[in-house]
C-alpha cells in the first residue's frame, strides 16, 4: 500500500525508502515546445491544485498558494483525510465528487493522462481542468514554481519565499530538513527492523537538535523573514506531537518540550496561512486510520490539546 507520496508502508526486514519518482512536468511562464520534461504554460484559471490538509507534503502547497495570493488564479480541490489502496477521494464534497473536475477519485485524473499509471496516486497534484489530466505531482517543484513562475499573479505584498541573498544556504537547509526530518519521521515509523528504527531515530534527533540550536538566536530558519524552508519544516512540526511522537515512535521528546522549536512552530502557526490550513482532526484521521499496519485498531486519539498552539511565543524579540 502506498502512503501520501507513494512510499510503501512497513516492510518487515527493511528500512523505509521513499519512492521519489514523480510526474516531472512543470508549469512555466515561457514553455519550450518539445522540452523534456514537458512544460505547460502559466494560465490563470486553467489549473486546479488538488491537495489534502491531512498530508504534510500537500499542506505545503496549500500554504504557499495562500501566502502568494494565488487563490483566484489556481483553484483548490481538497481530498478527504482517509483513502484506500486506490486513491485519495473527494468525500468532503457534496456527492463525494470534486465540483470542478467532476471526479470521485484523484486516480481518475492520473488515468486520464496515463491509463496504466504504475505508481501511487499522490497529493499534491496539479490537474489541467480543460482536459481533466494530471499535469504534475512533483511536490518540491510545485511550490518552487508557484513562487518563481507565477510571479506576475502574486498579490502585491506577497512574501519573498526564496530570498536571493540566502538562497544557496537555504537549499542546503531544506535538503537536510527533507532527508532528516520531513522524511526522517517516516523512516522511524515505517522501519521494518529494530536496527533500521534505531538508526532512523538517531538521525532524526541529531537533526532536531541541530534545528533547536539554529533557532535559538534567529526567528526563522533563514533569519527574520519566513521562507520556503520554514513552510517545509512547519508541516512536519505541526504533526509531531499529534502523530509522529507516538504513532511513528519519535518519542525522545515532544515538540512542546523543545523551547526554541516549539516557540518557532507556534510563531508560524499564528501567522496567516499556517494555522488556518492546519486541521488536526484530519491529520490524526489520516495517519491513525490509513496506516493499518502501524495502528491496526484504527483508533484515533483525542489529544493533544490544540489550544496550546495559540499561546504566546515571544519570538518577536529575535527580529
Q: What is the pLDDT of residues 49-85, one digit of tens each?
A: 999 999 999 999 999 999 999 999 999 999 999 988 8
Backbone angles phi, psi at 261, to 5 degrees: -65, -40
C-alpha cell recorded at residue 49: 491544485
The pLDDT of residue 19: 77
pTM score, two decimals? 0.95
Among 55, 188, 250, 287, the active-site one is 55
Residue 5 has pLDDT above 80, yes or no: no
Query: Using an 8 Å Cβ cutoff, are 313 and 263 in contact?
Result: yes
Query: Using an 8 Å Cβ cutoff, are 143 and 65 in contact?
Result: no
Q: By C-alpha distance, which of 304, 285, 296, 300 is closest to 52?
A: 285
The pLDDT of residue 86: 85
Q: By C-alpha distance, which of 258, 277, 263, 271 is closest to 308?
A: 263
Tell me whether residue 197 is one of the annotated catalytic residues.
no
Q: What is the pLDDT of residues 270-305, one digit of tens each?
A: 999 999 999 999 999 999 999 999 999 999 999 999
How confident is residue 7, by pLDDT bands cut at 50, 70 and 90? Answer: very low
Strand partners, 133: 128
Question: Could you give all domains of the chain from N- to C-terminal order, each with its CATH number?
Answer: 26-153 (3.40.30.10), 164-278 (1.20.1050.10)
How confident is residue 6, by pLDDT bands cut at 50, 70 and 90? Answer: very low
Q: What is the pLDDT of residues 156-167, one digit of tens each?
A: 999 999 999 999
C-alpha cell recorded at residue 237: 512540526
Contact residues for 309 (Cβ-Cβ < 8 A; gap 6+) = 265, 266, 269, 270, 275
- CA–CA dist 308, 306 (Å, integer): 5
Among 22, 186, 201, 244, the active-site one is 186
Q: By C-alpha distance, which of 124, 149, 144 is closest to 27?
A: 149
Binding-site residues for glutathione, please? 88
CA distances, 163 to each of 12, 30, 147 (Å) = 43, 22, 11
Tell me whether residue 287 is one of the annotated catalytic residues.
no
- CA–CA dist 39, 141 (Å, integer): 12
Strand partners, 27: 40
Q: Is 69 left (phi over 0), alpha (psi -120 to 50) or beta?
A: left
Q: Mean pLDDT, the chain, as a whole number?
A: 95
Amino acid at each position: 500500500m502506498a502512503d501520501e507520496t507513494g512510499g510503501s508502508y512497513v516492510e518487515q526486514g527493511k528500512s523505509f525508502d521513499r519512492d521519489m519518482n514523480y510526474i516531472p512536468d512543470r508549469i512555466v511562464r515561457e514553455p519550450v515546445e518539445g522540452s523534456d520534461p514537458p512544460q505547460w504554460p502559466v494560465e490563470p484559471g486553467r489549473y486546479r491544485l488538488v491537495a489534502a490538509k491531512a498530508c504534510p507534503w500537500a499542506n505545503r502547497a496549500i500554504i504557499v498558494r495562500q501566502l502568494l495570493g494565488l487563490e483566484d488564479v489556481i483553484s483548490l480541490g481538497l481530498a478527504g483525510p482517509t483513502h484506500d489502496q486506490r486513491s485519495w477521494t473527494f468525500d468532503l464534497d457534496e456527492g463525494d465528487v470534486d465540483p470542478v473536475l467532476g471526479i470521485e477519485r484523484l486516480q481518475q485524473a492520473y488515468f486520464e493522462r496515463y491509463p496504466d499509471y504504475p505508481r501511487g496516486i499522490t497529493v499534491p497534484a496539479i490537474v489541467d481542468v480543460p482536459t481533466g489530466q494530471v499535469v504534475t505531482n512533483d511536490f518540491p517543484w510545485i511550490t518552487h514554481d508557484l513562487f518563481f513562475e507565477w510571479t506576475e499573479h502574486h498579490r502585491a505584498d506577497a512574501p519573498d519565499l526564496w530570498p536571493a541573498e540566502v538562497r544557496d544556504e537555504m537549499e542546503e537547509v531544506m535538503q537536510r530538513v527533507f532527508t532528516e526530518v520531513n522524511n526522517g519521521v517516516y523512516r522511524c515509523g515505517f522501519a521494518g527492523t529494530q536496527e533500521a528504527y534505531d538508526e532512523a531515530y538517531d538521525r532524526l534527533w541529531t537533526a532536531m537538535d541541530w534545528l533547536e540550536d539554529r533557532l535559538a538566536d534567529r526567528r526563522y530558519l533563514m533569519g527574520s523573514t519566513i521562507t520556503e524552508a520554514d513552510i517545509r519544516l512547519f508541516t512536519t512540526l505541526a504533526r509531531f506531537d499529534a502523530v509522529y511522537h507516538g504513532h511513528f515512535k519519535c518519542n525522545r521528546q515532544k515538540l512542546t518540550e523543545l523551547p526554541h522549536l516549539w516557540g518557532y512552530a507556534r510563531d508560524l502557526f499564528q501567522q496567516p496561512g499556517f494555522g488556518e490550513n492546519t486541521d488536526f482532526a484530519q491529520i490524526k484521521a489520516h495517519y491513525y486510520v490509513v496506516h493499518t499496519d502501524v495502528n491496526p485498531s484504527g483508533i484515533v486519539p483525542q489529544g493533544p490539546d490544540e489550544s496550546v498552539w495559540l499561546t504566546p511565543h515571544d519570538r518577536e524579540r529575535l527580529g
